[in-house]
Structure 1
Amino acid sequence: MISIAFFSDDPVGLSCAHLVAQALAHVDARVALVDARDGAPPPSGDAYAVTSAPLHTVGDEALRARFDVVVTVGEGGASAGRALRAARYDAARTGGTGPTPVWFLPLSDQSIFMTKARLASAHGPRLPFGTRALPVMLPRIGAGARSRLLAGRPDDAVLASGTLLAALVLAVGADPAAAGLDAAGLAVLMAGGDGPGRRLLAGHLVALADAYARLSGRGTDAAGPTDQARAIERRRPHDGRVDGHRAPRRRDGLRRSA
């Protein structure tokens, strides 16, 4: 099981949890939306567990250790700044087995925070800290679309954004301590590999890429394709198959545990 948590001090963290959970359910992945206050996500084999938690608790190493993927995000400028700072890590420290690394997710109008994250990455200038950032800027969700999302009825444009976000967080789950994530790394994961876990991940990534292509083609400009998504599409298997089987598609299947 892969457990995913979004830490935020405003409602966008909960929206992200719903986005990822419903996107995974859309491609027939087994997924549970859980409450972080209930303790560790229940073990369930090859399922995914997604939750949201307050940003101020991201420093709790015992709490972070319960999750395989930890993402910080903020809707307002001040909260986005706090989310970015929470994702910084000691760039000089290598190796070791610390708590689950933190990744930062910027929103579509937060280019300044994405720029800061890139400057503080392992590929930028030598700074005393680094920042792991997801290579996407999540489109903002309006009040009406958010209500439909939280009710389990997301618009296609919103669900398209969710499929892209879900693919990225699943990729992070394969190597949470990586300095960054790019299209080449996604291509390797989508090609599969030895072991049922890698093949299952590849199948879900291919299915999410296929769903993104279909949903964004019918959606609005709010979920228009990004360079990252186009790179995913160029590198995915030509017929959407993994080990000879086409990845399944389904909109329902979300199980909630609260």
Structure 2
Amino acid sequence: MLVDSHCHLDFPDFAEERADIVARALAAGVERMVTISTRVKQFPTILEIAETYDPVYCSVGTHPHNAGEEGDVTADQLVKLAEHPKVVAIGEAGLDYFYDKAPRDAQARSFRAHIDAARRTGLPLVIHSRDADDDMAAILEEESGKGAFPFILHCFSSGRALAEAGVKLGGYVSFSGILTFKKSEELREIAADLPLDRLLVETDSPYLAPVPFRGKRNEPAYVAHTAKVLAETLGMSGDEIARITTDNFFRLFKKMPRPTPQGS
């Protein structure tokens, strides 16, 4: 069994064949998927998808790209929306200094509101961080001092220092198809040095399809290819890494029910 801890099934890329995409994921052994919110104002669409497909759950939150337009989203709102049984995470939220689509102060304010919601609900905060390692580490350190909160550094492609800082604070690190790219040697070295009990895999689909699908539209079924490369990086079998990352997922995403084993 595998889990895709981060996908975007609400994106237009999937609109015409969503049922087939979920079916292909299940056929590939991906028994749970989390479709991630990027705009709170579009949360009803996300929730409808999660309610339509049993293996699909969702988060609620505002992507840092959208922090300027959704600067009025409060922790109270997030906590309230997260009461739904299909909502298993907060986010994605964080800092993106690569595109800088929202003012950096707005990104930081939004990020802290999401941290507050994660702390209050106990749901994991899905963190987006790009070209913002120092500020991200500083905010995580400061906010953790106010009270621990569960979190995941999603689609990790940052430096070693941020990965180590996140793990030190109790966080998890999730790897996407980027891990499979030829030039990602440094990223694979970081993955090899992290504690096994903090590793997750994801697609971030429809983006970042792993080798051998690089350059094509990604989908949850392809998380198996990222898991395969992670297993090779760690000198493990595919079954071992599937078990480890799945166990890690359910430890972090505590609200998500495990599938009932067939035949039980």
What TM-score, normalized by structure 2, do the two folds share?
A: 0.38
What TM-score, normalized by structure 1, do the two folds share?
A: 0.39
Q: Which has the higher contact order (CA 8 A, sep 6+)?
A: 1
